[in-house]
Structure 1
Amino acid sequence: MSHRASPWDMVLTPTGLRFRGDKYPCSIGKGGLSLRKKEGDGATPRGIHRIVGMLYRPDRIPPPTDWALPIGRGDLWSDDPTHEDYNMMVRAPYLYSHEKLRRADPLYDLVILTDWNWPYAVKGRGSAIFMHQWRRPGYPTEGCIALSRADLHRLAPKIEHRTRLIVP
């Protein structure tokens, strides 16, 4: 895979996320950037991450693209490194550690999925590096990239299957 950014790439810069000629303010993980990402460290992993999917809340927003998938009531994300479904979307009931994708707050109304530690997860290397809505400007994430609602909705339709997220 090429390390040079293409016109379809999103590139994290010190001043925001650069994508298709625009710059979007964003937040990263509370643990900063890391080359040695671990489950629970709050870091955003450095590297070249493919965009592998998009999820949205159909009860709150229209489909952002024709390939985005709706988040259902029982949709969860496994973050349990001891389970075989680690770093995979799973369905309730699920007895292992997980994160609800259908949240009461709007953070996951639109979620862009990266291929961090997916589809063949290395246990403990960290799960689910998403792009999602931030709580407020500058508020850090648990390792994801977060943007304002307006910016997230503006960039989502511009994403193509060849789009990558580059975190230098």
Structure 2
Amino acid sequence: MKAEDIVVTAQGARFMGRVFPCSVGRGGIVAAADKREGDGATPEGEHRLIGMLYNPARMARPADWALPVSHADGWSDDSTDPAYNQMVRRPSGFGHERLWRADPLYDLIVLTDWNWPEGEPGRGSAIFVHTWRRPRFPTAGCVALARADLLWIAPRIKHQTRLIIRR
């Protein structure tokens, strides 16, 4: 592990010498081999950070490599979709999450390489790092932090930064 890695346990996230409270999936942290679509679990392991998305109506670009989302953007969570675990355009004939939301959860999203780029059906779609609903409130499998903490972390992420999830 390196200082630029984000290390997550059920107790919190450590990054660049600081510790941040965070939330993980309602199913807890599970072995990556046991992760399944819809289980609400966060898969342990070392995950590359592959992108950053943000809502331009609610914030300035958090990093020079972050991409804006629009009302038409979604993320496929339907294992029958040929674009499973990929960003998709809405409307879509398959199940997906809206990336432009009325609430602030996805105002800033850090994308990981969980089950990507070739999503294996049923292994679970995206594991994002995003803003939490409220302190320590469980997610559907993602890692969530306070908005202020995520905004502090985002511009400090480097190409080599990994999300390391441990039980």
TM-score higher than 0.5: yes
With the length of structure 1 as denominator, give the TM-score of the two structures.
Answer: 0.96
| Cα deviation digits, residues 107-159 of structure 1 (max 9, x gap) | 00000000000001110000010000000001000000000011010111110
Aligned residue type for 1:41: D
- Residue 50 of structure 2 aligns to a residue in which SS? strand
Aligned residue type for 2:92: Y
Pick aligned residue for 2:9 from 6, 9, 13: 13
- Aligned position for 1:126: 124
Distance in 2 between residues matched to 1:14 and 1:91, nearest whole Å: 34
Distance in 1 between residues matched to 2:4 and 2:13, nearest whole Å: 13
Distance in 2 between residues matched to 1:13 and 1:83, nearest whole Å: 32
- Residue 153 of structure 1 aligns to a residue in which SS? helix
Shift of 1:61: 0.1
Distance in 2 between residues matched to 1:32 and 1:16, nearest whole Å: 13
Shift of 1:13: 3.1
- Kindly tell me the number of residue pairs found equivalent between the two proteins: 164
1:61 aligns with 2:48: no
- 8 Å Cα contact 2:10-2:23 kept in structure 1: no
Pick aligned residue for 1:163 from 155, 161, 164: 161
* Aligned counterparts, 1:78-157, within 5 A: 78-157=76-155
Shift of 1:7: 1.9
Shift of 1:15: 2.6
Distance in 2 between residues matched to 1:143 and 1:164, nearest whole Å: 17
Aligned residue type for 2:104: P
Distance 1:40-1:129 versus aligned 2 partners, 3 A rule: same
Runs of 4+ in 1 over 4 A off after TM superposition: none
- 8 Å Cα contact 2:27-2:42 kept in structure 1: yes
With the length of structure 2 as denominator, give the TM-score of the two structures.
Answer: 0.96
| Cα deviation digits, residues 51-80 of structure 1 (max 9, x gap) | 000000001100000000001110000000
Distance 1:122-1:62 versus aligned 2 partners, 3 A rule: same
Distance in 2 between residues matched to 1:130 and 1:7, nearest whole Å: 20
Shift of 1:167: 0.7
- Residue 156 of structure 1 aligns to a residue in which SS? helix
Stretches of structure 1 that go unaligned for 5 or more consecutive residues are none
Pick aligned residue for 1:23 from 19, 22, 44: 19
Aligned residue type for 2:74: L
